[in-house]
Amino acid sequence: MDAPSAPIKPAPPNPVTDESMAPAPIDVKSPKRFINRELSWLQFNRRVLAEALNKTYPLMERLRFLSISASNLDEFYMVRVAGLKAQVATGASSESPDRMTPLQQLRAIDKSVAELRHQQQQCAEEILAELKKDGVELVIPDNLTQHEQVWLSQKYQEQIFPVLSPLSVDPAHLFPFIPNLGYTLILDLENLADGERMVALVILPSQLKRFVRLPGKKLRYISMVQVVLMFLDQLFPGFRMVSSGVFRIIRDSELELDEEAEDLVRTFKSALKRRRRGSVVRLTFDDQITEELKDFVVEQLGGPTNDVFRFKYLGLSDYKELISDEKPGLVFPSYTPRFPERIRDFGGDCFAAIGSKDIIVHHPYESFEVVLQFIRQASQDANVVSIKQTLYRTSEDSPIVQALIDAAEAGKSVTAMVELKARFDEAANIEFARKLERSGAQVVFGFIDLKTHAKLSLVVRREGERFVSYAHLGTGNYHPITARIYTDLSFFTCDPQICGDVMRIFNYMTGYAKPANLKQLSIAPLDLRERLMADIASEAEHARAGRPGRIWAKMNSLVDPDIIDALCGASQAGAQVDLVVRGICGLRPGIPGYSENIRVKSIVGRFLEHSRIFCFGNGSDLPSPKATVYISSADWMPRNFDRRIESLVPITNPTVHQQVLNQIMVANLRDTECSWMLQADGAYRRVPPSKAPFNAHAFFMTNPSLSGRGSALRPGKLKGKQKTFRKKKKKAKV
């Protein structure tokens, strides 16, 4: 085993060149010590948009980031802004930890989003112009060739016209319901026979793609709206179009549940129907619409007039439909995840490999197929007697669900803990829960007031005269598609204590029996917060005693006030705290006398950072074999600690411990090419170019021996691998 790398010494969290720029001290009890959650999230989405503006990326990858930033903003309005508006409407006086009222937050959001939307529109203009130069074109009807016109006419007749419904709006025909995120064409029409005018609508069904790929080898597209307008006389024969426009609605999509409901599935089906008819939160029009048509729509919808906007590029989230791998130079070089070598060494036998030693798998650099193989092998193994599985999010036609169905139909005892409250996946979860029930599996929907977010699998296998348990504990969902782009960890073990804890946690979720004697794991809402608070306090005590106090943590979000105060208390005691927080962070680093020993960075790049890793030095400099290391399903947010079932898993196996701490955490902290540093004022600054640049994503992609062999990272090793990656990028013309 290689020697561990040298400890990382955190740089000053907010380096300044002028003392006048240094952050001012702050009262440790002042609400100003917190960064507003909503504004912090908008800062995260700015970092996503910055990737779309990154000219070193291939054009279609830039378009993908633009689409993600737009989709993120849509969901932000559907949930967070909708919630704030509801508080204002009901007169709620609740304040955020930084003491902003809902109305104050909405005003701050409006100001920040105005700039963000403008940048998105400019970015779209730039990317589409560059794509056109590379032969990817969004055309208008006048630019169609004769062949394309004939082909499009046939496609319209066969696949588009049958699903469209022309709708007039008059006293006899009320304004129809417009679905959330739906596109609607509004028309001012004139009757050719008598000159009478009427307003009409064409709601574009969600089953139709936003853009139509034209025939031929060239990447030429036309928008669905333009196609409908081309053949408008077939929808409204005898009418002439005077003017037209397109609008798009964002509705309140937060579920409201009756917590006393006895039939949870029926409750969710009803709630989903209410979501589809939620109040209008945001209304956007294309820039071609007339004032008369715009005002007509606003009046009919009764929407808020201060959330009505015009854009040249409407619904940028759907522009991902233009992305194609037919032009390799316009996308990232293809990447094939490695299958874990340990499993290969045992001929693909997961149980034999896990039985020999605990295994950690680093997704997406290592294939999620190993998780699928673990469940499939369990479903087909005659010696397996039971499988227990949590399901929060998974894919359509999920191979995990199919393996559980196969196991149940084979007579094994299968228990599926299905979370119905997985936002925007509720309907899909209801459907596969019914499939599981029909196969004979026991399906449990868990607590009505707690969301089951833990990622756990437990397989019990007969081996000779005894039963042996095998567990999978993860930081991400059982979703084979997102596992290709999310960085997550899968931990496999047959440790009796950990497997026993997993069994007790399943018993808690299915039978409400609180586990009183967990040996290794902690769970929310019972003791996860308390365990982390104790570890943070311990590092503060080490610092006060003159020993190294060290905390490294990686997560998606940090907003819990108690945890933030505890971290800042450790900083005041002299502990060094390094945090990698991808998204929302409510902690202000670098405040004298409060958080001067805390550094916060965010990594945004080719992959979505999703793994949660928490490391405590235990009186030693990190990385150290003495350190306490956890992986977890939980971010550091009140909802994760108090309103969810979450798992905290200690990593004690020396090889796995070293892989997580010395490899993954060190690489994240050393990253310079994908990193942004959080400033005391809540803004983020990209890490400036380095003489020795390091890209964590590139490193893990190009280091085939990293996982499974237990080696630690060394500075020389990092440098060599980075050179290799840059040569490959240059060769691929990226």
Question: Which residues are the active-site residues?
Answer: 453
644-650 and 451-452 beta bridge pairing? parallel
Question: In this structure, are residues 283 and 184 in contact, taking their beta carbons and an 8 Å threshold?
Answer: no
CA distances 433 to 269, 390, 450, 691, Å, are 13, 12, 18, 53
Question: In this structure, are residues 5 and 573 in contact, taking their beta carbons and an 8 Å threshold?
Answer: no
Separation CA 714–CA 3 (nearest Å): 8
Tokens 């005018």 correspond to 197
CA distances 641 to 31, 549, 616, 692, 704, Å, are 21, 24, 19, 39, 36
Nearest CA among 137, 583, 63, 119 for reference residue 332: 63
- Sign of the torsion angle spanned by Cα atoms 629, 635, 640, 644: negative
Separation CA 297–CA 199 (nearest Å): 10
- Sign of the torsion angle spanned by Cα atoms 126, 128, 129, 133: positive
Separation CA 398–CA 260 (nearest Å): 31
522-524 and 486-493 beta bridge pairing? unpaired
Separation CA 113–CA 39 (nearest Å): 10
Q: Which residues partner with 455 through β-bridges? A: 474
Residue 623, preceding peptide bond in cis (omega within 30° of 0): yes
Please name the residues in contact with 464: beta carbons below 8 A apart, sequence gap of 6 or more.
none
User: Which ranges in 204-349 belong to alpha helices (H)?
Assistant: 224-230, 232-235, 264-276, 291-301, 341-345
Side-chain half-sphere of 26: how many Cα atoms within 13 Å?
Answer: 23
State the DSSP string of 117-176.
Answer: HHHHHHHHHHHHHHHHHTTEEEE-GGG--HHHHHHHHHHIIIIIGGG--EEEEBTTBPPP
State which H helix or E strand residue 64 sits in. Answer: helix 59-76
Question: In this structure, are residues 682 and 43 in contact, taking their beta carbons and an 8 Å threshold?
Answer: yes
Question: In this structure, are residues 164 and 131 in contact, taking their beta carbons and an 8 Å threshold?
Answer: no
Separation CA 196–CA 186 (nearest Å): 17
Residue 682, exposed/middle/buried by CB under 10 A (0-12, 13-18, 19+)? Answer: middle
